[in-house]
């Protein structure tokens, strides 16, 4: 019997491991570690941050953004011919050649946006572009967008990578084999966590490797199995990397906005005094220093001060536990009657750590906090459905200020929009509407600044901080600059230098 048993075991142990192993990296490849692999290489469907960032390398878009997040010419410059009519003229230069040799023309622009707007495509981006009534090709380099309603922020919405019309018509599977005109061309996707690209300019190979565990990501970097990683690192790993002679840590200002949200329909946190008490009970500087490793800056509003519609004049919420206690007392709470709040967060270990600290800080001013952590889907579902008192989340990659309409206008309570806190303010609504209808950019920015002052006073959310972009690389990697929104555009110029 042991012999028979041994035969079976040998079959299992000996043959199966020889079945296959993933492909090896090209020796000269630059290797970039990712916490999560891209889901799709089709920009019409990409909603996760990794896919969106990689797609920026593979495709070109009509419009880009400057440092103040003002839309600027990408593939094309534009003119507003009438309130409902925009003309885009494709510029000659980089990005006009697809990786298969074809030339990017106005027909490709029309085909891309037509396919995205087709309900059969079921693109998650259709909702943000539904004001497009029709698209007309004027000539090889010119395309007109006709709108169904005026939208002064319209150019900033044209950020979908342009696909070749012929490939769309042929049903090319862009999700698995990208075909664009970006600085990198698709080479292969041999396994889910390994994506291989080639830089068009100089043939430099680049490999994205998924390494979920942040500790393992840094250890791989240390051993030279990766060349660079960006973000998704706990502060202790950043400090560890800073202490390694073979690694270099680069920090850049970020715009991802973390906040504490409230359910304004709730009888407890719906009270302004309670929200203000919470705002003053939080020692954000201490959290940023000790927990975030100084890799963040405190926030007063959703848009950072350097944004064209941001408000640099807003004061920072002061850490003032005495004021918090006074506010609670004025609202009728005290040691005999401590307010009790359920705080929902995701089950991410780092978010949970932050929540525990916030729980402790609120406890010190007399607010009892009950933490409830859920898997992301359940947590997010609860937030959208209004099943919460308080939660923490972050707005990631915000570019255009119409986020205020989507997230805070009283008409945008889910499922219509993202006003998850059920915030209803006539003053805020009026400013949002005035800004949306304003043609002059300076006056529009002024409305948005005024709106952010109103929001800071009414506190439908407590602004926490903008998290920095942290890039860690081996010392031999040069030329990369972390972008404010965390994109990977720096890979277009990054290079490996001699040891």
Partner 1 sequence: MPVFIISRLLSAAVVLLGVSCLVFLLLHLVPGDPVEVMLGESAHAADREALRQALGLNQPLWVQLLHFLEGLLRLDLGTSLHSKRPITEMLWERIPATAELAAAALGVAVLIAFPLGVLAAVRKDSAWDYGAMGVSLLGVSMPNFWLGPLLILVFSVWLGWLPVSGRDELSSLVLPALTLGTALAAVLSRMVRASLLEVLHEDFVRTARAKGLPERVVVWHHALRNALLPVVTILGLQLGVLLGGAVVTEMVFSWPGLGELTIESIQRRDYPVVQACVLLISVTYVLVNTATDLLYAWLDPRVRLGTDK
- CA 433/CA 423 separation, integer angstroms: 15
- CA 469/CA 250 separation, integer angstroms: 8
Question: Nearest to residue 229, comparing CAs of 32, 494, 487, 467?
Answer: 32
39 near partner 1, judged by CB under 8 A: yes
Identity of the residue, 127 or 336, whose beta carbon is nearer to partner 1 in the bound complex:
127
219 near partner 1, judged by CB under 8 A: yes
Tokens at 439, concatenated: 């043609």
Beta bridge partners of 261: 391, 461
Beta bridge partners of 337: 334
DSSP state at residue 404: H
Identity of the residue, 19 or 442, whose beta carbon is nearer to partner 1 in the bound complex:
19
Tokens at 341, concatenated: 């709040």
491 Rama class: left (phi>0) / alpha (psi -120 to 50) / beta: alpha
Identity of the residue, 131 or 492, whose beta carbon is nearer to partner 1 in the bound complex:
131
Tell the smallest beta-carbon distance from residue 126 to partner 1 (Å). Answer: 7
Tell the smallest beta-carbon distance from residue 382 to partner 1 (Å). Answer: 9
Identity of the residue, 16 or 79, whose beta carbon is nearer to partner 1 in the bound complex:
16
Asked if residue 313 lies in contact with residue 452, where contact means CB atoms within 8 angstroms, the answer is no
Binding-residue total with partner 1 (CB under 8 A): 64
- CA 24/CA 20 separation, integer angstroms: 12
The only residue of 30, 43, 45, 261 in contact with partner 1, by rule CB under 8 A? 45
283 near partner 1, judged by CB under 8 A: no
426 near partner 1, judged by CB under 8 A: no
CB atoms within 10 A of CB 38: 24
Residues 118-177 that bind partner 1 (CB under 8 A): 119-120, 122-128, 130, 175-176
Tell the smallest beta-carbon distance from residue 384 to partner 1 (Å). Answer: 7
188 near partner 1, judged by CB under 8 A: no
Site pattern 474..493 for partner 1 (x: CB under 8 A) = --------------------
As to burial, measured by CB atoms within 10 angstroms (0-12 exposed, 13-18 middle, 19+ buried), residue 31 is: buried
- CA 398/CA 385 separation, integer angstroms: 23
HSE of 369, CA atoms in CB hemisphere, 13 A: 26
Q: How far is the CA of 330 from the CAs of 72, 145, 270, 276, 438, in angstroms?
A: 50, 56, 15, 12, 41
Beta bridge partners of 330: none
Site pattern 394..423 for partner 1 (x: CB under 8 A) = ------------x-------xx-xx-----
351 near partner 1, judged by CB under 8 A: no
Tell the smallest beta-carbon distance from residue 88 to partner 1 (Å). Answer: 23
386 near partner 1, judged by CB under 8 A: no
Identity of the residue, 440 or 499, whose beta carbon is nearer to partner 1 in the bound complex:
499
The only residue of 220, 344, 399, 409 in contact with partner 1, by rule CB under 8 A? 220
CB atoms within 10 A of CB 62: 26
Identity of the residue, 224 or 334, whose beta carbon is nearer to partner 1 in the bound complex:
224
Identity of the residue, 418 or 491, whose beta carbon is nearer to partner 1 in the bound complex:
418
Straight-line distance from the first to the last Cα atom of the chain, in angstroms, rounded to the nearest whole number: 58
- CA 36/CA 177 separation, integer angstroms: 18
The only residue of 9, 136, 316, 493 in contact with partner 1, by rule CB under 8 A? 9
The only residue of 94, 225, 458, 489 in contact with partner 1, by rule CB under 8 A? 225
Identity of the residue, 161 or 490, whose beta carbon is nearer to partner 1 in the bound complex:
161
215 near partner 1, judged by CB under 8 A: yes
Residue numbers of the site for partner 1 (CB under 8 A)? 1-2, 4-5, 8-9, 12-13, 15-17, 19-25, 36, 39-40, 42, 45, 47-48, 119-120, 122-128, 130, 175-176, 191-194, 209-213, 215-216, 219-220, 222-223, 225, 375-378, 381, 384, 406, 414-415, 417-418
């Amino acid at each position: 019997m042991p012999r028979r048993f041994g035969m079976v075991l040998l079959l299992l142990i000996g043959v199966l491991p020889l079945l296959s192993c993933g492909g090896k990296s090209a020796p000269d490849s630059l290797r970039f570690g990712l916490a999560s692999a891209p889901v799709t290489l089709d920009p019409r469907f990409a909603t996760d941050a990794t896919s969106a960032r990689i797609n920026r390398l593979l495709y070109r878009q009509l419009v880009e953004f400057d440092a103040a997040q003002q839309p600027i010419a990408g593939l094309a410059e534009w003119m507003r011919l009438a309130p409902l009519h925009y003309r885009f003229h494709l510029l000659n230069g980089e990005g006009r050649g697809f990786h298969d040799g074809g030339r990017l023309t106005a027909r490709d622009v029309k085909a891309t946006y037509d396919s995205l707007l087709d309900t059969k495509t079921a693109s998650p981006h259709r909702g943000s572009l539904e004001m497009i009534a029709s698209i007309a090709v004027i000539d090889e380099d010119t395309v007109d967008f006709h709108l169904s309603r005026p939208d002064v922020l319209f150019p900033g919405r044209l950020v979908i990578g342009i696909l070749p019309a012929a490939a769309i018509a042929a049903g090319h599977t862009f999700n698995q084999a990208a075909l664009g005109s970006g600085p990198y061309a698709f080479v292969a996707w041999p396994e889910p966590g390994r994506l291989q690209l080639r830089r068009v300019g100089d043939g430099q190979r680049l490999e994205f490797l998924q390494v979920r565990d942040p500790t393992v990501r840094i250890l791989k970097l240390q051993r030279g199995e990766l060349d660079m990683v960006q973000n998704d690192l706990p502060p202790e790993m950043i400090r560890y990397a800073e202490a390694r002679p073979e690694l270099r840590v680069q920090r850049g200002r970020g715009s991802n906005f973390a906040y504490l949200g409230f359910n304004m329909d709730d009888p407890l946190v719906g009270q302004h005094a309670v929200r203000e008490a919470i705002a003053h009970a939080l020692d954000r500087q201490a959290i940023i220093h000790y927990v975030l490793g100084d890799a963040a800056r405190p926030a007063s509003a959703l848009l950072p001060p350097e944004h064209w519609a941001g408000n640099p004049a807003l004061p920072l919420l002061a850490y003032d536990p005495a004021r918090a206690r006074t506010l609670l007392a004025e609202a009728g709470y005290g040691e005999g009657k401590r307010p009790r709040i359920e705080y929902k967060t995701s089950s991410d270990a780092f978010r949970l750590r932050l929540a525990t600290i916030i729980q402790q800080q609120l406890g010190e001013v007399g607010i009892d906090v009950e933490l409830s952590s859920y898997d992301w889907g359940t947590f997010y579902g609860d937030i959208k459905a209004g099943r919460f008192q308080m939660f923490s989340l972050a707005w990631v990659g915000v570019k255009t200020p119409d986020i205020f309409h989507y997230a805070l206008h009283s008409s945008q309570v889910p499922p219509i929009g993202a006003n998850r806190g059920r915030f209803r303010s006539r003053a805020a609504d009026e400013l949002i509407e005035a800004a949306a209808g304003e043609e002059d950019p300076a006056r529009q920015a002024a409305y948005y600044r005024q709106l952010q002052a109103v929001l800071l006073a009414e506190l439908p959310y407590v602004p926490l901080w903008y998290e920095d972009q942290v890039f860690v690389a081996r010392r031999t990697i040069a030329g990369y600059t972390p972008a404010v929104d965390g994109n990977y555009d720096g890979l277009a110029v990054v290079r490996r230098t001699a040891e």
